[in-house]
Chains A and B, each alone.
Chain A
């Protein structure tokens, strides 16, 4: 498995927050979804990869090269979309394209024009007058018009309507058809990631709670509905979190298949990524 981005013990300390020893390999040809609540460290991690902040410990490898050696050339092969930032709001799409053709070494004006047409972007309107969805599409057009091999999105789809989000997800799925392409996308909208991601990385309070293949994740975890007494009989090794209510307990268990074999009398069901994360964050620990 070829690795596009490799993080080894990446640590970034702020006064009130620490991104704590993050280790993960992002395989080439895959979509990795980065999830976590606000302030979990998603943006800090993405900015560390882009060298917008400086890590205190650890190492980042981009296409096998140390980040310090790979930058800034590596960014020529990366399309980055960050929420709330723009190149120049008073320019129009045509002018933006002209500027970007000087910024990116492999700029393809025809591709950019094609995306402007596909996305129905007004070429002569000031970017500041675009809707949020339009700005996002324009950023996407830029990201896809310089032969990028890696796309990095940070909360880029937040605040967009479901139709625009769905369009964007389709484009990402299309992008990833090329096996040399990679996508790292952070989002609050877990259902979006559930649709497209191959891997899910979950950050909580600066720590990587899990980083797993999505199918494996959904296969491995499950919910057990049981009484308080039955809950008492479940070994700690299975339990990831529990929610107690007046009707009994909902327990998030790991190794679901194994659990079902050992405890066939328990009522179990498959769960969603959103539920797994909610149990991690809000569920009680034994």
Chain B
């Protein structure tokens, strides 16, 4: 499995400059617009893209090559999930640096930063939890469609909610429920990790039955 992780790192190294350039741009925009969370949301897009490209590589090369090596099917799945986690760590590192720079330049507070990090990471794990087993089962091309649906669905839901619901009433949260509201990002993150664990088991089940 170490060999597979090394391969992911070599691939990452290939695109390192491009990704770095994109992330620096996001950082500049984020600080310029005084929106540090912008960097985090953009890192989410980059993180999902990175995880997705790992599958593209496997599918293009053929899983048959990997299975001709002394690698267990479990190892292949575990490596892919570790790659997803590795990308999450890089997202976190990037948003931390961005937030630090923003704080340094603009002197803004960092109170809501941690909560936003947990929300963004939670979304990342939820999205990859869906994408990984789908990619194994249906291949990369169909997963692209699923990815588009995943991105579009929350946007549609939010737009519809704003139209239908009385948002002002929702925003005015009472003091008692305030503490629960503050806990939501962390609970959401914990739930996403559980879903991620479930996703691993599903992927394992799917991949163990696959023939090449």
Contact = CB atoms under 8 A, between A and B. Distances in A.
A80 B64 CA distance: 10
Interface of A: 47, 50-54, 72-76, 78, 80, 82, 84-91, 95, 98-105, 152
Contact of B64 (A78, A85, A102, A105): A85
B212 A105 contact: no
B70 A104 contact: yes
Contact of B4 (A47, A72, A99): A99
Q: How large is the interface on B (under 10, 10 to 19, 20 to 34, 35 or more residues)?
A: 20 to 34
Interface stretch (B35-43, B54-62, B190-198): B54-62
A231 B2 CA distance: 65
Given A84-B62, A86-B61, A90-B14, A50 B68 contact: yes
B64 A82 contact: yes
B29 interface: no
B67 A88 contact: no
A104 B68 CA distance: 11
Interface stretch (B5-13, B18-26, B103-111, B133-141): B5-13
Contact of A73 (B65, B67, B70): B70
Contact of B70 (A47, A52, A76, A95): A76
B115 to A, nearest CB: 38
Nearest to A50: B68
B116 to A, nearest CB: 34
Nearest to A80: B68
B71 interface: yes
Contacts of A89: 60-61
A103 B65 contact: no
B10 A75 contact: no
Interface of B: 2-4, 6-7, 10-11, 14, 57, 60-62, 64-72, 211-212
A88 B7 contact: yes
Contacts of B10: 88, 90-91, 95, 98-99
Contacts of B62: 82, 84-86
Contact of A88 (B57, B211, B212): B57
Contacts of A51: 67
Given A47-B64, A82-B65, A87 B70 contact: no
Contacts of A53: 211-212
A75 B64 contact: no
Given A84-B62, A89-B61, A90-B11, A54 B70 contact: no
A116 B70 CA distance: 22
A87 B212 contact: no
